[in-house]
Amino acid sequence: MKKRILVVGLIVGLLALGSTALAYDLTQFGLQPAENYDFGGETVTIISWTSERMANYFNDNLLVLGRVQEAEELFNCKIDFMQNREIPDINFARLLSGDSVNDLWHVQNKIGYWQLVANDALYPIYEILPEGYYDAFPPGILAVEEAFKYNGQYWGIGTVEYRPVFGYQNDLIFVAYNKTLFEREGLPDPYELYLAGEWTWDAATDIAVKATRDLDGDGETDQWGIVDARQWDLAVSNGASMVRVDENGKVVFTADEPAYLEALEQHREWWSELQVAMPTNSSGDLKNAFINGNAAMWFYAGAWQLPDLMPMTDEWVLVPYPKGPRVDEHQWTVQAISTTVLPVNAKNPEALIALKTFLWREEDAPLNDVLATHVRNQESAQVFLEGNRAWSGNVSRMFESFQATFVDDVRQVSAGSLSPSAAMAALKPVVQANLDDLFGQ
């Protein structure tokens, strides 16, 4: 036991010695060496709804152990992780009080970003960002910042995280299917269909019909073909989008176009007509139905949720969303994107950029470690990596805070209470007015 403690102590000591002996090279990002920045002993505050988990990550993960302390020494600062869910209210309050001069703000497309950037609360980092800054990052980082462009400019410097997935899309959405159930029921394998180019809405529908069963003969469905297929993600799989930028550069509502309406109709067919989708909107119940072996396909297997599937008894495999009738290739989307921004009154913006870049690094997420915590077989690993390579910045509900009654409306469509075209026609002027106000167009 004493020898084991000694070995662990030596490893930690060597890691600490190595980190202080040779500071992380920031010049690859066009920045100065870390020791050239000086906050004069002041506190840098990192504000996020996940800050407590960030602090735990730096305290518990061996690869980053001691990094916060190293950064505090090199940058001559104290780092404080402020947990706060009232974003953007807390950000505006700190800006007005002058407390935000050394802040790093973690934001999401549905948590604060659009409100802050549209109200001139963010520092224009594009004015000082070194040329080629994003080139030193994995491609997914730039894809996020491209999606977040406002007035044609970048405002973010990459996300901050509380788990080692740097460069991978933590919110990328897959379909997981229960391979054990499929083999028992004699159903076509979606992964094989995917490889053959035959993984389509029609194929998924046929499987869902065959998989949905009353197992005990009591007249109630016990096994569902589909759980948690979300209309907005299904629309992306048909090449549709809720909004797009038109030829005049205006952001316009497009969920009333045929490709989107087809997705709403397909979801209605699964939910109401064929009754192959478990009829609840409780995400917890839907996920548990899959984990417990009561569903063939889970259509909301987000990357952030995959570790929850690792203890499953049944074998499961990932595939992309099935192809809609209007596309030839599988489409990928995420439920949200996040980045880090600076307040407009930042006192030393380049130093803040350098500090954030120093703390979160691509090397902290080795490929083998990422795969080991997210997938259980080679097929899923291939799909996981393909999704991360192919994702190009699509977010199925990019302007979630500005979409009015969209979610309630499409649920009424699925229940058969509204037609897709009538629902979207009524919603369009409301959402368009919100977009016009946001972008000043």
The helix/strand/coil state of 336 is coil
pLDDT at 15: 43
Whole-angstrom distance, CA of residue 160 vs CA of residue 166: 8
* pLDDT (tens digit per residue) in 368-412: 999 999 999 999 999 999 999 999 999 999 999 999 999 999 999
Q: How confident is the model at residue 23 (pLDDT cuts 50, 70, 90)?
A: confident
The amino acid present at 417, given as its one-letter code, is: S
* Alpha helices (runs of H) in 26-133, residue ranges in sequence order: 51-60, 67-74, 89-97, 113-118
Q: What is the mean pLDDT of residues 14-20?
A: 41
Look over the chain and give the mean of its residue pLDDT values, rounded to a whole number: 94
Cβ-contact 203, 188 below 8 angstroms: yes
Structural domains for the chain: 25-169+337-371 (3.40.190.10), 173-336+379-439 (3.40.190.10)
* pLDDT (tens digit per residue) in 60-115: 999 999 999 999 999 999 999 999 999 999 999 999 999 999 999 999 999 999 99
Q: How confident is the model at residue 4 (pLDDT cuts 50, 70, 90)?
A: very low
pLDDT at 13: 43
pLDDT at 104: 98
pLDDT at 164: 86
Q: Who has greater pLDDT, 44 or 18?
A: 44
Say if residue 11's pLDDT is above 70.
no
* pLDDT (tens digit per residue) in 215-250: 999 999 999 999 999 999 999 999 999 999 999 999
**DSSP 8-state secondary structure symbol assigned to residue 129:** P
* pLDDT (tens digit per residue) in 296-349: 999 999 999 999 999 999 999 999 999 999 999 999 999 999 999 999 999 999
Query: For residue 300, which of 171, 166, 197, 179 has the smallest C-alpha distance?
Result: 171
Q: How far are the Cα atoms of 3, 148, 316, 390 from residue 177, in angstroms, in the given order? A: 46, 32, 6, 21
Whole-angstrom distance, CA of residue 190 vs CA of residue 318: 9
Say if residue 281's pLDDT is above 60.
yes
Residue the block writes with tokens 């994995």: 138
